[in-house]
Amino acid sequence: MKVLKSRNRIYNQSLERALQILCAFSPEKRELNLVELSKMLNLPKSTVYRLCHTLVKFNFLTYKEGSNRYSLGLKLFDLGNMVSSAFSIREAASIHLTRLGIKTNESVFLGILQDNQLMYLDKREAPESPILFKSEIGARRQPYFGMLGQTLLAFLPGTEVDAILKKNPLKPITQSSLRTKSELRKRLAAIREQGFVIEKGEVIDGIAGIAAPIRNHSGQVIASIGLRFIYTPERKRKEKALIEEVCETAMRISEDLGYERRENAVSSGF
């Protein structure tokens, strides 16, 4: 494996060649053999073979022994679906995030679980907020991180939550952070029951968060939307109204994604 360095960049030559192999496929060339790939990329067949063998191992390519030809693998389909889903959620939520931010004058965040981590899909900073939150779009956090992560974990099967926590053990951030699995399980159960979460000082001292789940057409929770704000006496008086705004916004995004609101369901409970 050779790593090349220049004044402006550092890149891995083997990785570059593997990506060139994947990019060689097209709607017109859905299957290619070793000789074709070698000629197209101007690489030795032995090099192409080693790279293709690795790509097959990780399901980025499929090898058909009868024809000795390669085609794109299912791993790319899975990754493509994740990207497509994320873009669809962000597009559906965009106008609602803006409206929620304007109506509440608070900072608004949208997140999903990806690769067992919380990932921020979108955000709206409150223009008058004295705090600039460092939750950049695309940034990742521990899966149980604050309001968004806990909301997303709450609607996963218990065995899946246990597996995620085994890989990502609880690490308290502040004195108010959840510290044990038992505490987290109680929190997740409460979120499922009431349809939202409010956490206070668990990520930043003096800062509270309110979040609710976003569902797709089948009712599956696929994202979470939330507010983060300084927890003052004024905010405490408005707590109920803020919860209702967050839950109603989550519902409207869910409806835009094909979810049908249940009759007689309260906005906070879906």
Q: Which pLDDT score is estimated for 3?
A: 47
Domains 3-72 and 82-256 agree in fold: no
Residue boundaries of the structural domains of the chain: 3-72, 82-256
Model confidence, pTM: 0.69
Span 150-195, pLDDT tens digits = 999 999 999 999 999 999 999 999 999 999 999 999 999 999 999 9
Low-confidence ranges of the chain (pLDDT < 50): 1, 3, 6-7, 264-270
Rounded CA separation 240/227 (Å): 13
**CATH homologous superfamily for the domain 82-256:** GAF domain (3.30.450.40)
Q: What is the assigned CATH class of domain 3-72?
A: mainly alpha
Rounded CA separation 31/39 (Å): 14
Q: Is the dihedral of CA 54, 55, 57, 61 positive or negative?
A: negative
SS3 120: strand
